Amino acid sequence: MFLLDAGINGGFIDGYLFLNVYDLSDNGATIVSVFVAVETLSEIPLFFLSNSMIKRFGSAVCLCIVVAALFIRDMVYIHMEQPWYVIPVETLHGVTFGLLLATLTTYLYTAAPKGAAGFMIGLLTAFQRGIGSGIASLAGGYIYDGYGVRTIWKIGAFGVVPASFVFIGIFAWFVRQRHAVAVELEDRLIDEDNSSSELNKYSPVQ
């Protein structure tokens, strides 16, 4: 469900931010090009830093950082009047895309069964960029025509973002449970190995 939420919010931005900016700039294409350039360049440092951030903070915290950045972007877009002033905010695209992608793929690569990592990452792409973005495109077009683009950003900020935090909480609980089971199983195997060693030590058959 988090993947769908992330795909929907990302789909809103990918599909309707440039339309919003184009309209506010009196049909000026230059500002759209600048937005794209800033977003693209912002991804580079985050891809370099993402591994260190994931190791230090963990997957759940990194996902919270991503959702917080999405909330900031949505709130800025709600009140956007002059697109040129919003350009610095577009550096957050590195967080909402680069850190998100790195966190999800890293977790799936380590958590997936042996030999299934590629399949799981394919599912990630299908849910996020396929279904989630598709929902955003279809629903966003209706909302854009009927209620205006600001309503799209409000849905992202006050609907999708809170739901994402809930799903991250569920994800964090699941990860803790999975880790606890793994630790318990490892301790049990160690105890059994120690017991076997003790029995062999006192066994009359050498």
pLDDT of residue 115: 80
Kindly tell me if the per-residue pLDDT of 197 is higher than 70: no
pTM of the model: 0.83
Contact status, residue 140 vs residue 11, Cβ threshold 8 Å: yes
Express each pLDDT in 95-128 by its tens digit: 999 999 999 988 888 887 788 878 888 888 888 8
pLDDT of residue 179: 64
- Region of residue 26 (phi > 0: left; psi between -120 and 50: alpha; otherwise: beta): left
Average pLDDT, the chain: 85
Instruction: List the domains of the chain with CATH numbers.
Output: 2-175 (1.20.1250.20)
Mean pLDDT (whole number) for 124-146: 89
Q: Which tokens belong to 168?
A: 């991250």
- From the list 61, 163, 166, the residue with the least C-alpha distance to 103 is 61
pLDDT of residue 185: 61
Express each pLDDT in 17-36 by its tens digit: 999 999 888 877 888 899 99
pLDDT of residue 147: 94
Express each pLDDT in 34-84 by its tens digit: 999 999 999 999 989 999 999 999 989 999 999 999 999 999 999 999 989
Q: CA-to-CA distance for 106 and 100, rounded, in angstroms?
A: 10
- From the list 159, 103, 94, 155, the residue with the least C-alpha distance to 128 is 103
